[in-house]
Amino acid sequence: MTINKILNSLTFGVFLSLSTLTQANQPIIDEPLIQKESSKEVILFFSLACNSCYYPGVLIQSLKLSMPSVRFLKVPVFYGDKWRAEARLYFLLNLSSENYILSDLNKIKSSYSISQMNTLVDDKEAMFTLLKKYGMKFTALEFSRWWSDSELMMLSAQDIINESGLLSHQIPSVRVYNKGKGVTYYDARDFEALLKQLLEDLK
């Protein structure tokens, strides 16, 4: 796939195609955050507090659809209470997909919108009330299960963040692992340069 084709699809097609995936019912992170080493893997480190993180997230989702042999993950980083609450929201929205169907793109949009319009607190009761406020339908038992699962996802994310050694001012960043080339980190703020580098590294 050429750079121009991907850029064109991001501009004209990806937003539409991702929006229509409402029947896929798959979370953005639909597998364990830590697993046996993949031959090719891309991890986007992002925060909902970071406006420049949004479009790299859309790019990663587009590449995930076009490169099924590559493992793509989005890992929310948390360096304080506010970022931790935003990471929790992100994981809860992913876990809720079992009975609240959102396309992957709409999950990203929802995460950003809710975090920007509310003062988030990493508290079970507060998150329960917040999601109910936005019309989500679930039982207390379902939410308790999501919360427990999100705890495991937070721990896995923390392990990956610690391993990366990234600092808050280095977000968004992308970690690329290619079994034949090793591990490389890239600044994800330069959208076009990142795309070129990913296509090169993932050959």
Delimit the domains of the chain by residue range. 40-201
Interatomic CA distance for residues 65 and 80, integer angstroms: 32
Say if residues 178 and 40 touch (Cβ distance below 8 Å). yes
137's CB contacts (< 8 A; 6+ apart) are: 99, 100
Mean pLDDT confidence for 58-66: 87
Asked whether residue 135 carries a pLDDT value surpassing 70, the answer given is: yes
Per the CB < 8 A criterion, the answer to whether 169 and 50 are in contact is no
So what's the pLDDT on residue 103?
Answer: 67
Residue 176 predicted with pLDDT over 50: yes
Check whether domain 40-201 has CATH 3.40.30.10, yes or no: yes
Distance CA 163, CA 53 (A): 20
Strands 40-46 and 71-76: parallel
> What's the pLDDT score for residue 136?
86
The whole model's pTM is what?
Answer: 0.77
Those residues with Cβ within 8 angstroms of residue 170's Cβ, 6 or more apart along the chain or in another chain: 45, 187
Q: How far is it, in rounded angstroms, from Cα 152 to Cα 51?
A: 26
- Cα–Cα distance, 156 to 143 (Å, whole number): 20
pLDDT, tens digit (0-9, with 9 covering 90-100), for 5-19: 433 444 333 333 323
**Digit-coded pLDDT (tens) for 63-99:** 888 898 899 989 999 988 999 999 999 999 888 876 6
Closest Cα partner for 161 from 10, 60, 45, 74?
Answer: 45
Residues paired with 46 in a beta bridge? 76
